[in-house]
């Protein structure tokens, strides 16, 4: 976990060092162990370091090649750096450190822009080639690490190009536009996050996962970046013909190797352990590789029993023989942390689980510098509730008579509005939002806070017009242009290209980055992802059983009770909070006069949502949490 930032002036004017220093100061929590900069005419690169591999000053960034003409700032880990280093040394390259990031500068000398295709890991980097006056930047295949960029218009000079790990760093650059982008706002309301390449600030972009960016000043002479995809999910026209036993053995081998690569560090390493199959699988392989009693596991629990998983985590820790630590929190602790989350979350994200993720990260960081987690498994092996809902969705929306659908919808409206975790009324209400569409678009409607047709009543007309069309068209374009052709592959592709990088990975990156913790995800190892892309559907989901192949792979290696457990997300009781402890904040942040001044949302519609929820007529948890999160973000980070 590090932070990177940079400024490039095509006119070649000196970069104001005070500006780059301000950018890096905002990234200090991501990299508490040191700061480095490098300047050349018209170029400034900056880095905040979290020391993980090679703790010596030789590994400080920016890192250069032998003559200093190539410089890189890098955030993340390259898991195949040992093999790449050996290959590059055999070709005559001289390394000055043991750090993984140094393979980027020598790899670029050897392979040019194709270096990004040779590295395997989680990363965002920016590499400057001084001889050829060009920048190469890239983001990893599965979007673990973020990279934002912007062209800042100036009078009488070509646009200044700026990049950074987080938006708050870009906001330090004079001339940065902090007004809300209507297209990004519409997408935030529909997805609960802002999907790449959009960013919440006007004129700013987010590099998508598996893309590289080239800024060639020698040829173009202006700061106009060119981006292209360097990798995609390798779906086949037909799935592999593995038997269940063969696939399980392959998966065990791949996961063992993925965990082994992510245990490499010169600092203490632990494992997030919730007691679900994903984190338990990672912990099991870590314990196998490191030896009994040499793995530390961490979990946080909550006083609300319907949201608490600690007893399952303890059972797994005892079974595996890990050194387990847990922290129990009440509702007050979760609520008290909201201002801190607002302060570090510089782009709105309506995933309430960022609150416990931050608390888990902070607790874990007291003991270790690196933690392994179970993220990615749900996307690869059909673990979400929406995958289980898919067959019912096809039956209900595609084949049930209209009369039957109408009766069920009317009956559903009579269900009392509960506030518990994934309550029945909430499940039914979200399911019915799927509508007469197919595949990934239906899944996004199931997950949405606001449907496209609801934005007209929520956004003021000027903002709605500026937003420009249906935000879910992004999903349709990906399905049309992407590599997946089989229906279940298309669902996996959707989650892996939208929800995973833009919600899950963003949540973990920001929460862990706020406390200087590095989190690694073995399930997102390239070899594991490629394996999952070739799986037949019956090894992902069989009838209503999810993660079939993962459970088969871990049979006998985890307690049967853990393999039988239904998925429970890392949730918090926002439905109850907004009727009780958060009700005053809800009214203040969404007050009609305040909304009118801001000119984004229609106050009457927002008030109807509040009244529905507070009176118990309807459960509006998702819509109101999404609006509340945005308003708190706007108050902290927005501007004109």
List the catalytic residues. 2
H helical segments located in 433-543: 439-447, 455-458, 461-467, 473-481, 487-494, 505-513, 526-533
- The closest of 103, 82, 83 to 93, measured between CA atoms, is 103
Within 381-478, strands assigned E span none
Tokens at 37, concatenated: 């900069």
Q: At what angle do helices 473-481 and 439-447 cross, to 10 degrees?
A: 150
Q: Which residue from 163, 283, 363 is spatially nearest to 557, judged by alpha carbons?
A: 283
Residue 418 token pair? 């509960």
* DSSP string of 224-264, one letter each residue: --EEEE-------SS-----HHHHHHHHHHHHHHHHHHHT-
Strand duo 35-40 + 3-8: pairing:
unpaired
The SS3 assignment for 302 reads strand
Q: Is the C-alpha dihedral spanning 20, 25, 26, 27 positive or negative?
A: positive
Phi, psi of 153 (to 5 degrees): -70, 140
Bridge partners (DSSP) of residue 215 are: 135
Work out the number of other CB atoms within 10 angstroms of the CB of residue 397.
17
CA distance 202 to 177: 6
What phi and psi, each to the nearest 5 degrees, are found at residue 218?
A: -65, -35
* Whether the Cβ atoms of residue 239 and residue 532 lie closer than 8 Å to each other: no
**3-class SS string, 141-187:** CCCCCCCEEEEEEECCEEEEEEEECCHHHHCCCCCCCCCECHHHHHH
| Residue 40: strand, helix, or coil | strand
Listed residue (342, 304, 315) closest to 420, CA to CA: 304
């Amino acid at each position: 976990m590090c932070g990177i930032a940079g400024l490039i002036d095509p006119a070649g004017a000196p970069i104001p060092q005070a500006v780059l220093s301000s950018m890096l100061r905002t990234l200090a929590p991501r990299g508490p162990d040191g700061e480095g900069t490098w300047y050349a005419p018209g170029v400034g690169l900056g880095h905040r370091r979290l020391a993980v591999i090679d703790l010596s000053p030789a590994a400080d960034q920016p890192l250069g090649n032998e003559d200093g003409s190539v410089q890189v700032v890098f955030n993340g880990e390259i898991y195949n750096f040992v093999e790449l280093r050996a290959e590059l040394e055999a070709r005559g390259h001289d390394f000055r450190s043991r750090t993984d990031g140094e393979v980027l500068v020598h790899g670029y000398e050897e392979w040019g822009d194709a270096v990004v295709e040779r590295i395997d890991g989680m990363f965002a980097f920016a590499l400057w080639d001084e001889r050829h006056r060009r920048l190469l930047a890239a983001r990893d295949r599965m979007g673990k690490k973020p990279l934002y960029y912007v062209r800042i218009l100036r009078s009488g000079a070509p646009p200044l190009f700026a990049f950074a790990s987080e938006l708050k760093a870009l906001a330090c650059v004079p001339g940065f536009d902090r007004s809300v982008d209507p297209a990004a706002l519409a997408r935030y309301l529909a997805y609960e996050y802002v999907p790449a390449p959009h960013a919440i600030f006007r004129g700013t972009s987010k590099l998508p996962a598996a893309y590289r960016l080239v800024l060639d000043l020698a040829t173009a002479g202006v700061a106009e970046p060119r981006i292209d995809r360097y990798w995609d999910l390798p779906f086949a026209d037909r799935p592999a013909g593995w038997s269940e036993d063969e696939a399980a053995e392959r998966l065990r081998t791949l996961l063992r190797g993925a965990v082994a690569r992510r245990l490499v560090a010169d600092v203490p390493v632990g494992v997030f352990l919730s007691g679900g199959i994903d984190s338990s699988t990672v912990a099991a392989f870590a314990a196998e590789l490191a030896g009994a009693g040499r793995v530390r596991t961490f979990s946080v629990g909550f006083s609300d029993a319907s949201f608490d998983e600690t007893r399952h985590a303890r059972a797994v820790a005892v079974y595996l023989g890990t050194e387990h630590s847990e922290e129990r929190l009440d509702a007050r602790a979760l609520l008290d942390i909201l201002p801190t989350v607002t302060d570090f979350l510089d782009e709105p994200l309506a995933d309430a689980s960022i609150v416990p993720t931050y608390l888990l990260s902070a607790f874990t960081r007291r003991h270790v510098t690196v933690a392994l987690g179970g993220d990615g498994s749900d996307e690869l092996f059909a673990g979400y509730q929406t995958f289980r809902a898919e067959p019912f969705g096809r039956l209900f929306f595609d084949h049930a008579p209209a009369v039957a659908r109408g009766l069920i919808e009317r009956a559903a409206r009579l269900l009392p509005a509960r506030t518990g975790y994934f309550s029945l009324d909430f499940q039914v209400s979200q399911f019915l939002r799927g509508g007469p569409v197919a595949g990934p678009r239906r899944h996004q409607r199931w997950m949405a806070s606001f449907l496209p047709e609801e934005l007209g009543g929520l956004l003021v007309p000027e903002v709605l017009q500026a937003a420009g069309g249906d935000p879910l068209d992004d999903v349709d374009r990906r399905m049309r242009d992407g590599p997946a052709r089989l229906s279940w592959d298309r669902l996996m592709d959707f989650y892996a290209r939208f929800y995973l990088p833009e919600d899950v990975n963003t949540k973990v990156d920001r929460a862990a980055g706020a406390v200087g913790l590095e989190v690694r995800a073995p399930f997102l190892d390239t070899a594991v992802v490629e394996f999952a892309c070739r799986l037949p559907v019956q090894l992902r989901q069989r009838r209503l059983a999810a993660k079939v192949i993962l459970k088969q792979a871990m049979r006998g290696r985890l307690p049967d009770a853990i393999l039988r457990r239904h998925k429970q997300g890392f949730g918090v009781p926002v439905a109850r909070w907004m009727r009780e402890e958060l009700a005053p904040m809800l009214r203040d942040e969404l007050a009609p006069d305040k909304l009118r001044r801001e000119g984004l949302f229609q106050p009457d519609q927002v008030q109807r949502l509040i009244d529905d929820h507070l009176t118990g007529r309807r459960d509006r948890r998702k819509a109101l949490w999404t609006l509340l999160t945005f308003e708190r973000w706007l108050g902290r980070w927005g501007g004109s």
